[in-house]
Amino acid sequence: MDNLDNIFSQPTRRDLMRFGLACGAVCALGRAGRAITQDTPGKRQMAGPKLEGVARHAAMHWEKQPENRIKCVLCPRECEVADVERGYCGVRENHGGEYQTLVYGALCSANMDPIEKKPLFHYLPGTPAFSIATAGCNIECKFCQNWQISQFRPEQVESTLVTPERLVSVCKSRDCPTIAYTYSEPVIFYEYMHDTAALARQRGVGSVMISNGYIQEKPLRELCRQLTGVKIDLKAFTEKFYQEQCAGKLKPVLATLEWLKDIGIWFELVILIIPTLNDSPNEIKEMSAWVVKHLGPDVPMHFTRFHPTYRLKNLPRTPVSTLERCRKIAMDAGVHYVYAGNVPMHEGENTYCHRCRSELIRRVGFRVASNAVKDGKCSKCGAKIPGVWSQGQVIPG
Amino acid sequence: MSQQRTRREFLSQVGVAVAGVAIGGVAAPGCAAEPDEAGKPNRKAADNSSPRVAIARDDALARGRVGEHRELLRKLLDAAVQKVTKQADAVGGWRSMFRPTDHVGIKVNTLGLSTQPAVVDAIVAGLLSAGLAAENVIIWDRFDTELAAAGFKLNKSARGVQCRGTDAERYGSGYQRDIEISGEIGSCFSKIVAEEVTALICVPVLKDHNLAGASLGMKNFYGAIHNPNKYHDRNCDPYVADVVSHRFIGPKWRLTVCDATRAQYNAGPARHPGFAWPFGGLIVGSDVVATDAVAADLLDGERKRRGLKSLEDDKRPAKHITTAGARGLGVADLKKIERIDV
Ligand code: SF4
């Protein structure tokens, strides 16, 4: 058997710290050691019978080409893949002219995380999200915190096979309101996410995708019928950054954001601020203006702190003052909800009513210490607060 | 999860920037490597002559099964090695490239149209003739499963020639834990190439590649890194040269034996019988770039002969060969390479 039940029932010390029950420790680590950063998998990993080989399943969103080649149209890369070869993400393979995913249910990480860790601050605050990942990613950020799973092929990472049925029934039986598809890049395990989210929705469990936004329109629209929330990492606001630091492009991500707006699903933005690479006031100003113009002022922006890792170890951690500056620029541009992330106890981690500026949600680490949002409204001035405040809002009935 | 590092390991990782390492172990163009007094190959160039690439062909090889021609393969390979190294005989040729104390990794290609085991047997015989112990030779590729499917007999015992995949123990345990940076690539290398071997022989197959143009010796070393899927953009260029430049590969590279017993001129790298090309030969050289350049030229010639677009016109030129040449990893200019028919 897998250890899904244990993940629910036995919080580790780290879980407790993450939930803020050992807040002193969180703060100390945040200052002196490796900070507890958003959306990294915890220490405890999937256990259970190891997957032998890969978890093959018919892939969605691809087209046949001559000579047994295929073209994948799941993400903007549009990989042309010859027989026996794989796409850029390393988890989709051409098998005799048929495209297959190799990670259907092959979970390499599973953790019970607070939804605040994703971070989603306007989505059922204070609730847990069962967070899962498979190996693989469709871009390569030089600062990836989770590169040991995102930049490896499935057979190079220990995985356990968990069917959508098993995952959803465990969540249901433990009253976990949300499954988060996260850590690596869920777009590349699209089929599993899609099927699991559809089943979860039927059983009253929500699904949030924590993604880089590198996906094409058709699969996104199809997927969003099953999802209940999305977080997108907007890595920067220049093509140069996307090309040099992420092996990707900015334009398709902006398109995704506009489609999400059009679809009407709840989503939030995270921008990891990296000293000298994407922290210029002008860039943040342009980005914020674009958000207000194209997405509206109610899409929250989280400016989060960078820590040296993976291929980007030569830069320092982001000064808190830089995050404060970014936050101010975005608020001045008219964004209603702007946060500073990965800085525990900072006032920028709290939610303030955009109309009366009173404190609505106070956060300590990833724990919600107080919440003054009542029925989706500010309890002081009655302003409607954008977000998902009850499961019924996203899964009627 | 085996790839998960502890925090201590994680923090202790130091980015290693290694770029543009010259291929020190490979004979310089025109090198007639003479063993020095200690029997150690002296790899300094004796003159400035062109690198030699031998094309050893026999019509008989194109008939029947390759495994039926072991004797012929051995003869052809020995003759090619003798010509390439400019030694008096084949044994002298093998000895000029390998010391008895070397641990030699034979990198085969088992993705799609695969290296023939009989060709590798001929290489092993050559190494043994140079005084190497069988236990010091390892035949390897990415996966046990692919090696077995290509007809190689796995051997993980302490006796005889070793044969195993990097992923033999699964879960990425066969790759180094730390990432290596070389030019634009950032990869974990196979422990076989990084930690076990002192010398490399590359045994690719003469075949077309839908993105790189041709899948030859240098491209074959995508099988030494954990994330080759990340490096197929821009016709795999400059990534192939980045991999080959790395200190784990370039300085250890001694010989390329391109298996052209059964070649494929289109729709590679997967096996595609409709484009099979019974070349019936081996392309042998100790200059990694020159050997690939000659093989790519033969491939393009065959495409032309069959009325297909050249790789260039098909928008998949084998740019990585030119890049490797420009970086000084070997000679890419065909006019500067001496082709020898054996
Ligand atoms: S999902 Fe993977 S295979 Fe498909 S286009 Fe994107 S990177 Fe390529």
Q: Does A142 touch chain B (CB under 8 A)?
A: yes
| pLDDT greater than 50 at residue B40 | no
In this prediction, residue A20 has a pLDDT band, given cuts at 50, 70 and 90, of: very low
One-character DSSP codes across A246-303: HSS-SHHHHHHHHHHHHHT--EEEEEEE-TTTS--HHHHHHHHHHHHHHT-TTS-EEE
Q: Residue A323 gets which letter from DSSP?
A: H
pLDDT of amino acid B318: 96
Contact A2, A49 (CB under 8 A): yes
Question: B1 vs A313: CB contact, 8 Å cut-off?
Answer: no
pLDDT of amino acid B4: 40
Question: A247 vs B230: CB contact, 8 Å cut-off?
Answer: yes
CA dist., res. B242 & res. B249, Å (int) = 10
One-letter amino acid at A173 equals: S
The average confidence (pLDDT) of chain B is 87
For residue B89, give the CATH number of its domain: 3.40.50
Question: Per residue in B59-96, pLDDT tens?
Answer: 999 999 999 999 999 999 999 999 999 999 999 999 99
CA dist., res. B319 & res. B273, Å (int) = 26
| pLDDT greater than 60 at residue B171 | no
Tokens for B281?
């030969």
Q: Which of A60, A62, A70, A79 to mutate to test the pocket of ligand 1 (most atoms within 8 A of CB)?
A: A79
Closest-CA residue to B94 (of B201, B202, B193): B201
| pLDDT greater than 80 at residue B31 | no
One-character DSSP codes across B166-218: GGGGSTTTTB-SS-EEETTEEEPBBHIIIII-SEEEEE-EEEEETTTEEE-HH
Express as a percent the part of chain A with pLDDT over 90.
84
The chain B residue lying nearest A138, using CA atoms, is B230
Question: Per residue in A102-146, pLDDT tens?
Answer: 999 999 999 999 999 999 999 999 999 999 999 999 999 999 999
Mean pLDDT throughout A163-187?
A: 96
Between the CA of A251 and the centroid of ligand 1 the distance, in Å, is 17
Instruction: Provide the 10 A C-beta neighbour count for residue B244.
Output: 30
Tell me the sheet residues that pair with B155.
B163
Task: Tell me whether residue B125 is in a domain.
Answer: yes
ipTM over 0.90: no
Task: Tell me whether residue B9 is in a domain.
Answer: no
Instruction: Provide the 10 A C-beta neighbour count for residue B101.
Output: 12
Return the domain boundaries, chain A: 106-394
Atom index in ligand 1 nearest the CA of residue A62 equals 4
pLDDT of amino acid B286: 97
Task: Tell me whether residue B18 is in a domain.
Answer: no
| pLDDT greater than 60 at residue B45 | no
Q: Residue B237 sits in which domain range?
A: 44-178+188-341
The chain B residue lying nearest A311, using CA atoms, is B15
Tell me the sheet residues that pair with B55.
B283, B341
Domain count, chain B: 1
Question: Which residue among A82, A153, A310 sits closest to B210, beta carbon to beta carbon?
Answer: A82
pLDDT of amino acid B17: 29
Mean pLDDT throughout A334-354?
A: 95
Tokens for A286?
């342009």
pLDDT of amino acid A155: 87
pLDDT of amino acid A145: 93
State whether the beta carbon of A138 lies less than 6 angstroms from ligand 1. yes
Residue carrying the six token digits 């199809």: A222
Tokens for A338?
């702007």
Question: B268 vs A82: CB contact, 8 Å cut-off?
Answer: yes
Q: Which of A92, A95, A153 to mutate to test the pocket of ligand 1 (most atoms within 8 A of CB)?
A: A92
Question: B270 vs A83: CB contact, 8 Å cut-off?
Answer: yes
Crossing angle between the packed helical segments B90-97 and B70-85, to the nearest 10 degrees: 70
Question: Per residue in B263-281, pLDDT tens?
Answer: 999 999 999 999 999 999 9
Express as a percent the part of chain B with pLDDT over 70.
85
Q: Are strands A301-305 and A62-64 parallel, antiparallel or unpaired?
A: unpaired
Helix (H) or strand (E) holding B286: none
| pLDDT greater than 90 at residue B221 | yes
Residues 6+ apart with CB under 8 A from A225: none
Q: Are strands A267-273 and A301-305 parallel, antiparallel or unpaired?
A: parallel
In this prediction, residue A25 has a pLDDT band, given cuts at 50, 70 and 90, of: very low
Nearest CA to ligand 1 atom 5: A78
Question: Per residue in A49-76, pLDDT tens?
Answer: 566 667 899 999 999 999 899 999 999 9
| pLDDT greater than 50 at residue B10 | no
Closest-CA residue to A139 (of A55, A64, A226, A79): A79
Distance from CA of A288 to the nearest CA of B (A): 32
Please identify, in words, the CATH class of the domain defined by A106-394. Answer: alpha beta
Higher per-residue confidence, B177 vs A7: B177
Between the CA of B206 and the centroid of ligand 1 the distance, in Å, is 28
pLDDT of amino acid A42: 54
Question: A50 vs B267: CB contact, 8 Å cut-off?
Answer: no
Higher per-residue confidence, A23 vs B322: B322
- Extract long-range pairs of A320-329: CB within 8 Å, 24+ residues apart: A320/A346, A322/A273, A322/A275, A322/A279, A323/A273, A323/A348, A324/A348, A325/A281, A325/A284, A326/A271, A326/A273, A326/A279, A326/A284, A327/A303, A329/A281, A329/A284, A329/A285, A329/A288
Task: Tell me whether residue B17 is in a domain.
Answer: no
One-letter amino acid at B5 equals: R
Contact A49, A158 (CB under 8 A): no
The chain A residue lying nearest B208, using CA atoms, is A82
CA dist., res. A388 & res. A376, Å (int) = 8
Instruction: Provide the 10 A C-beta neighbour count for residue A124.
Output: 22
Q: A107 contacts in B (CB within 8 Å)? A: none
